[in-house]
Structure formats: C-alpha cells, structure tokens
Chains A and B, each alone.
Chain A
Amino acid sequence: KAGVTQTPRYLIKTRGQQVTLSCSPISGHRSVSWYQQTPGQGLQFLFEYFSETQRNKGNFPGRFSGRQFSNSRSEMNVSTLELGDSALYLCASSPSTSGSFGPYEQYFGPGTRLTVT
C-alpha cells in the first residue's frame, strides 16, 4: 500500500502571497489531519477532515483553511503569508471511522517545507 504523499515537498513564497498544499492519504483512509511543525513551537494541530467535513480545528487564524474531496485527498491553503508561517507542514491519514482521535494509528507524510521570504 502506498503511503501518504504530499506535494510539493519544498516551496518558497513571498510575504503576502497565498499557498496551497496537497495531501493524498493512504487508500481507504477517510480521516486526514494537518499539522504545522516549527523549531520553536514543535508540532501543532491545524485541522482534521473526515468524509469531506472539518471535524476538528486547532488554534490557528482564519488565514489557514483546508478542504477534503470525495476521494479523501485534502488541500490546505494559507492566505496572506507571513514570515512566521515558514514551517514544515505535515499531513497524516488515519483509518478512523468516526473522525475522532481515538486509538487509531496515524500515518504521516514526508511534509512540505514552506519558506516565506
């Protein structure tokens, strides 16, 4: 089974621009979560989607948004980029059947390294 894939792997953007990142979950997984990882804050939860619905959302400003398609692929968008948005963005998929963070394994992708200049 193919793992979680994320595209692009690396991205450089300028302050004020917007960016869209893509995540393809493991086949059969309907839960997709997004995380931001920075050296200072560590891993932080952004949001989770299950069957095209946002089930959970972390404490991030409205500039961060996402969506999930009927084939479970997910995208996240960051508008009006700030220097502080430079980070590794990770996506994870799960075989969870309820969209909650029960004792289900989460499988992470390799991440997208976003640099904002």
Chain B
Amino acid sequence: KNQVEQSPQSLIILEGKNCTLQCNYTVSPFSNLRWYKQDTGRGPVSLTIMTFSENTKSNGRYTATLDADTKQSSLHITASQLSDSASYICVVSAPTGNTPLVFGKGTRLSVIA
C-alpha cells in the first residue's frame, strides 16, 4: 500500500535553531516528492519538488534531501524564524495507481522566542 510517514508529528524549537523533519515513503513507482508549508488557515505553499534523480534541493533556508534507494526524504530548516511556525507536509507522486498523490499527515513546527 502506498504510504507516506512523517516524523516527528510535532516539534518545538527556539528561534535561531536548526531542525530536520523526516519523510519515509513506500510509494512505488515514484515520480517526484514535494514538501509544502501550510500556515494555519491557509492553503499549502510549495517549498521544493524533487525527482528521483535529485539528491538535494534548496529554497532559501529550506534544504530538502532525497534518498530514492531507502525511500527517505528530509527537510532541513536553518536558522529558524518565528514565521517558520507551520505544518510541513511531504507529498509523493505516483504516476500509476488509484491515488496519484500520497500525502503525509505533516509535522507541526512551532518556533518560539
């Protein structure tokens, strides 16, 4: 069964600190993996999209890594800011099957002063 598991479910860090969010997936075949940031009450905003041939992709203070062999991805946030407080959702695209997009439940990040 195609699944995306994210950890931790929630995380609290101090402003200025770094953190890493994890995403493990069992989706096969695999097309691409996306990370989204969703502020409370708003729609998700894309951070990165990675195909199976990409290992690392950065977007400002956000760096995503992908290991297609172990089916793991991580999102590293550097020098966190209060505005980073949000849910981070990992999404894997499967070109075949009933569900072309498989979503993780997200990691709720709280950055405190």
A-side residues, CB < 8 A to B, are 4, 33, 42-45, 48, 56-59, 90, 92, 100-111
Contacts of A92 in B (CB 8 A): 43
CB-CB nearest in chain A for B46: A105
**Are A103 and B46 in contact, with the CB atoms below 8 A?**
no
Q: Which of B31, B46, B89 is in CB contact (< 8 Å) with A101? A: B31
Residue B76 is within 8 A (CB to CB) of chain A in the complex: no
Contacts of B104 in A (CB 8 A): 42
Tell me, yes or no, whether B51 is within 8 Å of chain A by CB: yes
B22-35 interface code vs A (CB 8 A; 1 in, 0 out): 00000000011010
Residues of A within 8 A of B43 (CB): 4, 90, 92, 108-111
A44–B102 Cα distance when bound, in Å, is: 8
| B58 smallest CB distance to A (angstroms) | 16
B93 within 8 Å of A by Cβ?
Answer: yes
Q: Are B101 and A110 in contact (CB under 8 A)?
A: no
> Can you name the residue of chain B whose Cβ is closest to the Cβ of A57?
B98
CB B5 to nearest CB in A, in angstroms, measures 12
Knowing A103-B49, A105-B49, the reply to whether A44 touches B103 (Cβ < 8 A) is: yes
Nearest Cβ on chain A to B62's Cβ, whole angstroms: 15
Task: Given A102-B31, A106-B46, decide whether A45 and B95 contact each other with a Cβ distance below 8 A.
Answer: no
B residues near A59, Cβ cutoff 8 Å: 98-99
B-chain residues with CB within 8 Å of residue A109 when the two chains form the complex: 43
Additional A-B contacts beyond A106-B34, A108-B43 (16; CB < 8 A)? A42-B103, A43-B44, A43-B106, A45-B99, A45-B103, A58-B99, A92-B43, A101-B32, A101-B100, A102-B31, A102-B32, A102-B93, A104-B49, A105-B46, A108-B44, A110-B43
